[in-house]
Amino acid sequence: MRSLLTEQGVDEVTQCLQAGDHDWNRATAGSRRYAVKAVRSAAPSGARTKRSVSSGRSSTVGTLLDHTARMGRARGTQEHDGLRSERLRLRPWTVADAAFRRRLWAERDPRVPAGRRLTADGSPSLADMEAWILGYEPEPTPGLLVVELVEDEAPIGYCGLVRDSVARSGDPELAFEFLRTSWGHGYATEAARAVVARAAEVGHEHLVATVREWNTASLTVLGKLGFVDTGEREHDPVHGDSLLLRARLR
């Protein structure tokens, strides 16, 4: 059964590649996640060759993954061109960012809930991260964007908007996270300022943010952007209370 599923997964990716970006974008998130996992399991080394039953043409798994990464990049840039600041470029996710995203999880403070940190057995895996990227939908605009340095295009974090998870106001929620090596240079403030400006441009009137009370660095960033404490909090004696902040854009 495993070999059959793997063959089907390779077929699905191959068909998407032959059909072009449009059909890849129309595929369900589940199909994209299944396809990339199937391709990786077909040849973990990236060197084995599988034949597409439907097309009769063979492609290396490594080539398929390269194409898949390009599909992810094309898909993101079709929806928006990203953002730019003096030192930073904010762009859509690509499959190549999987290891970077996993590193962020590995670096998280031990006070962060276990479900958002790597487990002892290394979960989520690199394949899990790739699947998340392939299934990610950048909503609300501009979504979550990878933040990289303009000078060397090295990814250092992410910043953007997600759906409101706590306030239930319908307002987008600002979220950001950066590698520890990039802390202390003002990158989070610079990236978040660009996202807030884009949010205002597309018509959002308010933004919210949720931050653990002990996360003073993030609270400082949000204060610089005009976020104020609403006085609402979610009590958590284990991981620390979450504070709700809000910013008015118009």
81-250: CATH superfamily? Gcn5-related N-acetyltransferase (GNAT) (3.40.630.30)
The edge-to-edge listing of strands for the beta sheet with 83-84 is 83-84, 88-91, 144-149, 155-162, 173-178, 206-212, 242-248, 228-234
Confidence band (pLDDT; 50, 70, 90) for 70?
A: very low
Q: Which two tokens stand for residue 77?
A: 């840039």
**Mind listing the pLDDT tens digit for each residue in 158-185?**
999 999 776 567 899 999 999 999 999 9
Question: Is residue 142 scored above 70 in pLDDT?
Answer: yes
DSSP string, 59-94: EEHHHHHHHHHHHHHHHHHHH---EE-SSEEEE---
6 vs 230, residue with greater confidence: 230
Report the distance separating Cα 52 and Cα 7, nearest Å: 7
Going by C-beta distance under 8 Å and a sequence separation of 6 or more, which residues neighbour residue 243?
Answer: 210, 211, 212, 213, 219, 229, 232, 233
What average pLDDT is seen over the chain? Answer: 78
- Within the chain, which residue ranges are assigned CATH 3.40.630.30? 81-250
Q: Which pair of structure tokens corresponds to residue 108? A: 């998280």
